[in-house]
Structure 1
Amino acid sequence: MLSWRVVRRMFCVAAEAKAAPVSSSRWERLRNSKAAVWCRSLLSDYKEACRDIVVGAREKPIKASVYMSILGGAWACFHTKPDQASFEAALLDCSNQLCLLSPWIRNATSDGHVQSLLKLRNEGRLRHISLGFLSLIYRTDYDSAVMLYEAQCSNLSVPWKELPLRMLDVGFVGRWWILDSKMKDYDVNEDEFKHLPPHMRATSPPGVEEVERNEGLHKESRLVLLMESEEDIEKQMHVIDREQENVSHDVSVKELKREETEA
């Protein structure tokens, strides 16, 4: 009885071994894993999305061009937004331009704005924040290195609702717009002309004729001065001497006639 059980068990093990599938390789197990199936489905979705984009662009080229222009403009704005280093460089450049001018001819608005920004910069109270497509410069009450409780406590920091009141400049497409607007006509002191009548304060651009006349005078001033030869100079001197002799002869004749008439 025991031998029969052993034989039957051997036959069962052989049958199970024959019916068992062949073990797969490591690459096949990786391909059939859940992560591989998820990646294939994700790539398939992206492939279908790209195909739909291409088909939609062919069917509606104007709409696609508008979308591409918006995306390109957003990308350009994001990569050309200025940072705090560029603001400090622009501020120092404006300060140097004003320093080259006399205090009597500086624009009071430009000078006051630049001097206030320089004071905040020296005190360490200027802050920079990036909003994706543009940058903002605002002021704070304390320097970041100050160890006072009011400066370090997060609950006493500047709230977001006060940011518009503390904003000093806006950086967009590589420019600081408020600083540039304040530096317009920085070399014109408007206080010098406040006593003039209104019609003399306003200036108008020159006309076409005036511009052409000024350009002609400028070209004539750059012409080379031609030196005359010695012979031409001697001839001119000879002509001048003869004219002087004729004038002196006429004067002497007039004096003789006057003397005769008086006698």
Structure 2
Amino acid sequence: MASLRLATRMFCAAADLAAAPVKISRWEALKSSKAGKWCRGLLSDYKEACREIVVGARERPLKATVYATLLGGAWACFHTAPDQSSFEATLLDHSNQLGLLSPWIRNATSDGHVQSIVKLRNEGRLRHVNLGLLSLVYHTNHDPDSTLYEAQCSNLSMPWSEFPRRVLDVGFASHWWILDSKMKDFDVNDDEFKYLPAHMQVTSPPTVKEVERNEKLHTESWLTLTVEDEDKDAHAVDKEEESVSEESQTEQLKQTQV
């Protein structure tokens, strides 16, 4: 009888264990969920795409090199696009360079362009926009902090058709190209030479021999003179005077004979 009860209890325990649910970990539950399946599908897609990129680069290296160069150039342009503080620093630097020169020496084009932009900056009318690969600086009609009706009314704002005419500079690869081009020969005033003849207004660069001759004369000017050199110079001057006197005497004799 006791053995029968023991067998019954063991059978019931085995049945309870078989009917109890199997416990799984949280990581297994997360992987089997919808979000886990979506993430695994996404990773497999990226893995397949990367594999195709590697295989395509091996099959067509020239095309892959061109694409890599374009992407690298775009990335470099994006990270080297200058901001508004860079433009203001460049503007103040050029303004200081012109301020160190006399008004008679400054280039009128450079001075007028820089002074006009400085005036717009002082009035608070300069604006900067970053387009990713390059930056633009343009001017508006009013300061945004102004309380004038024309400055606050949206219907009187700048139309997009006038935007190209309001662009002042283009920033690309850490340079402001229009401002730098305007500062070319900023210490040469062309108005000083406009009354000269045409052949004197144009200057040609010196030749190699002229440059070497000027450098030689410059180095010789720093050398110290010795007594022998002074004596040689004195003898040379005396010989020239004697030759000149002899020529004058011969000319006088010719005139008397005639």
Q: Given the two structures, how large is their TM-score scaled by the length of structure 1?
A: 0.76
State the partner residue of 1:112: 112
Q: CA deviation at 1:219?
A: 3.3
Q: CA deviation at 1:167?
A: 0.7
State the partner residue of 2:191: 191
> Which residue identity is paired with 1:31?
K
Which of 1 and 2 has greater Rg?
Answer: 1
Distance in 1 (alpha carbons) for counterparts of 2:24 and 2:129: 57
Distance in 1 (alpha carbons) for counterparts of 2:36 and 2:226: 92
Task: Specify whether residues 191 and 39 from structure 1 end up closer, same or farther in structure 2 by C-alpha distance, changes over 3 A only.
Answer: same
**Helix, strand or coil at the partner of 2:89:** helix
State the partner residue of 1:47: 47
Q: CA deviation at 1:205?
A: 1.8
List per-residue Cα deviations over 1:157-181 (Å, max 9, x = no partner): 2222211011111111111111111
Q: Do residues 182 (structure 1) and 185 (structure 2) align?
A: no
Task: Specify whether residues 42 and 221 from structure 1 end up closer, same or farther in structure 2 by C-alpha distance, changes over 3 A only.
Answer: farther
Aligned-residue sequence identity (percent) comes to 71
List per-residue Cα deviations over 1:6-29 (Å, max 9, x = no partner): xxxxx9xx9797356413222211
Task: Specify whether residues 64 and 221 from structure 1 end up closer, same or farther in structure 2 by C-alpha distance, changes over 3 A only.
Answer: farther
Distance in 2 (alpha carbons) for counterparts of 1:68 and 1:79: 17
What stretches of structure 2 of length at least 5 have no aligned partner? Answer: 1-10, 239-258
**Helix, strand or coil at the partner of 1:133:** coil
> Which residue identity is paired with 1:83?
D
Distance in 2 (alpha carbons) for counterparts of 1:149 and 1:50: 57
State the partner residue of 2:69: 69
Task: Specify whether residues 54 and 146 from structure 1 end up closer, same or farther in structure 2 by C-alpha distance, changes over 3 A only.
Answer: same
Equivalences for 1:1-263 in 2 at 5 Å? 18-19=18-19, 21-222=21-222, 225=224
Q: CA deviation at 1:215?
A: 2.6
C-alpha RMSD over aligned residues: 2.8
> Which residue identity is paired with 2:58?
R
> Which residue identity is paired with 2:117?
L
Distance in 1 (alpha carbons) for counterparts of 2:68 and 2:216: 49
Task: Specify whether residues 102 and 47 from structure 1 end up closer, same or farther in structure 2 by C-alpha distance, changes over 3 A only.
Answer: same
**Helix, strand or coil at the partner of 2:147:** coil
> Which residue identity is paired with 2:59?
E
What stretches of structure 1 of length at least 5 have no aligned partner? Answer: 1-10, 244-263
List per-residue Cα deviations over 1:152-205 (Å, max 9, x = no partner): 233332222211011111111111111111111111111111112222212222
Q: CA deviation at 1:214?
A: 2.3
Task: Specify whether residues 26 and 96 from structure 1 end up closer, same or farther in structure 2 by C-alpha distance, changes over 3 A only.
Answer: same
Task: Specify whether residues 159 and 17 from structure 1 end up closer, same or farther in structure 2 by C-alpha distance, changes over 3 A only.
Answer: farther
> Which residue identity is paired with 1:120?
L
Q: CA deviation at 1:65?
A: 1.0
> Which residue identity is paired with 2:152?
Q
State the partner residue of 2:243: none
List per-residue Cα deviations over 1:208-234 (Å, max 9, x = no partner): 111222232333345x53767xxx89x
Distance in 1 (alpha carbons) for counterparts of 2:37 and 2:20: 25
> Which residue identity is paired with 1:94?
H
